[in-house]
Amino acid sequence: MCEAQNAMGVRCDVLLNLSQSHCEMHSGHRIGVPSQPDKILLRLQIPEREANDLIQNAGIPYVPRDFEAQDEKNKAEAERLGVDFKKFRSEGGSGTPVFGRSGLKTGISIRPMLDELGESGFTTVNYHIEPSQKPSMFYIVIVFSSDSDEEAIGLHERLGDYAYSGWRYAHPWVHAPNESGVVTHALNLLFQMEDEACKIGLHYNSGLWGISDIPR
């Protein structure tokens, strides 16, 4: 994705080859480094049975969600940023998808990203289970923060097993700074699979995100 962003911090959504950094419209301009994330939300989709097991047997906290309130908040945020709420998803949103509307679909390992987050000073500050809008599906949510004032809690072993597994679909989203100036990136992972079957690795790449082939 093009690295340019507008005055509000909204990233350009033009998709590029991996060798390019800026789209035709933005190349040749003097453009700084895009906003770096303060927080990264890793969201791993799991079925109800596994969610129940994690809540009841591993003590992972469950946090209910108010989808309507969230929708209102997202709409207001899209309006504040001047972005088209329904541009990428029928359910709406204010972020920009790094790899386009359909994301990555070839079997993804996030091991490279997890290593890079550690090297970049990110720590786990929260984890919980929350409902998905899809019936009978839930998300494991793991929150990484680069703010050293936030307490690092370490990742629960059971959740580490999920994070270090493979995932069929990956959708990283970057968001412009919110009204408090906090930048959040979100990574949604769908359909767990064997780590050994993954063809590509996802990289944090200092908030620019990227992929590499996994040699087999």
For Zn ion, the binding residue among 10, 12, 108, 117 (CB under 5 A) is 12
Which ranges of the chain would DSSP assign to H, the alpha helix? Answer: 48-57, 67-81, 111-119, 157-163
Q: For the chain, what is the radius of gyration of the CA atoms? A: 17
Nearer to Zn ion, 26 or 89 (CB): 26
**Closest distance of CB 17 from Zn ion, Å:** 13
- 42 — phi, psi (to 5°)? -100, 120
Which residue, among 132, 99, 83, has the nearest Cα to 15 in the 3D structure? 99
**Closest distance of CB 84 from Zn ion, Å:** 16
- Candidate ranges 11-19, 40-48, 61-69, 191-199; the one touching Zn ion (CB under 5 A): 11-19
For the chain, helix, strand, coil in percent to 5 are: 20, 30, 50
- 143 makes contact with Zn ion (CB under 5 A): no
- 2 makes contact with Zn ion (CB under 5 A): yes
For Zn ion, the binding residue among 14, 16, 125, 182 (CB under 5 A) is 14
Residue that is written with structure tokens 């091991």 in the block: 111
- 183 makes contact with Zn ion (CB under 5 A): no
**Closest distance of CB 202 from Zn ion, Å:** 22
**Closest distance of CB 50 from Zn ion, Å:** 40
Residues in binding contact with Zn ion, number by CB under 5 A: 6
Nearer to Zn ion, 2 or 140 (CB): 2
**Closest distance of CB 92 from Zn ion, Å:** 23
- 104 makes contact with Zn ion (CB under 5 A): no
Restricting to residues 15-34, which ones interact with Zn ion according to CB under 5 A?
Answer: 23, 26
- 4 makes contact with Zn ion (CB under 5 A): yes
Going by C-beta distance under 8 Å and a sequence separation of 6 or more, which residues neighbour residue 76? none
C-alpha–C-alpha distance, residues 192 and 162, integer Å: 8
Nearer to Zn ion, 23 or 137 (CB): 23
**Closest distance of CB 1 from Zn ion, Å:** 8
Residues lying near Zn ion in the complex (CB under 5 A) are found at 2, 4, 12, 14, 23, 26
